[in-house]
Amino acid sequence: YGPELPSLVSEAVFYIITMSIAVCIRRTFQQSEKAQSGKICLSRGICGSEFAMLYPCIFRVLALLAIMGSFVTPFFVAPRTVHPVMGWVLFLLGSSCLLVINIIIFHLPVLPMFTPWIGFVGALLVLAFPFYSNGVMRAIVIAAYAFFASPFLWWAVKEILATVDFNTERESLRSWTNLRSEPQQSELMKLC
């Protein structure tokens, strides 16, 4: 495993630096978002009303694809010929890095986002438990773990989708109030 160690270390350092930069950027944007009244205006332009209707669906699909991609991408990026413990640690580090980026981009809650990640850690611990008598017992324990973990995953999905819906409603309301307030100001300026 010696020749693959530099690539593992460089990939781990890349994930750690990316996560720390994303957290630092988020802190600076939190201060500027408080002063900003609205970010986007959905109903302006030629296709404004159509885009305003599709915006929640597009935002929801993008959020779900980004969350799934945060688990799939590190799996394919991690080298295949390393020790399984090093590979799984690198997978968990990469997926946590991408989950933090998704939390920052989509303004999602932390615990529901990390619930599948915690589920992966638990599944790896169940798989790695060395005291199973045979493969059938291991399969039964894995099925029981999946049975008991599924309500938590369902709760996480519901919380994430509710937050995504709330964020899209808030953004469309912000853009609608900005759009409605501008003509009143221009009419006031015309009268003066």
Give the tens place of pLDDT for each residue, 136-147.
999 999 999 999
**pLDDT at residue number 178:** 47
Round the CA-based radius of gyration of the chain to a whole number and report it: 23
Residue 100: other Cβ atoms inside 10 A = 21
Q: From CA 1, how far away is CA 48, in angstroms rounded?
A: 56
> By percentage, how much of the chain surpasses pLDDT 90?
43
Tens of pLDDT, residue by residue over 26-77, are 887 776 665 554 445 555 555 556 666 677 788 888 888 999 999 999 989 8
User: Does residue 90 contact residue 11 with C-beta atoms inside 8 Å?
Assistant: yes
Whole-structure pTM value: 0.75
Q: From CA 98, how far away is CA 145, in angstroms rounded?
A: 25
Predicted confidence (pLDDT) at residue 22 exceeds the cutoff of 60: yes
Long-range contacts of 151-159 (CB under 8 A, 24+ apart): 152/115, 152/119, 153/115, 153/116, 153/119, 155/112, 155/115, 156/111, 156/112, 156/113, 156/115, 156/116, 157/112, 159/109, 159/112
Tens of pLDDT, residue by residue over 114-156, are 999 999 999 999 988 888 889 899 999 999 999 999 999 999 9
Average of pLDDT values for 159-181? 66
Residues in the chain: 192
Torsion of CA 87, 67, 124, 77, to 10 degrees: -10
Q: Is the Cα dihedral 29, 30, 34, 40 positive or negative?
A: positive
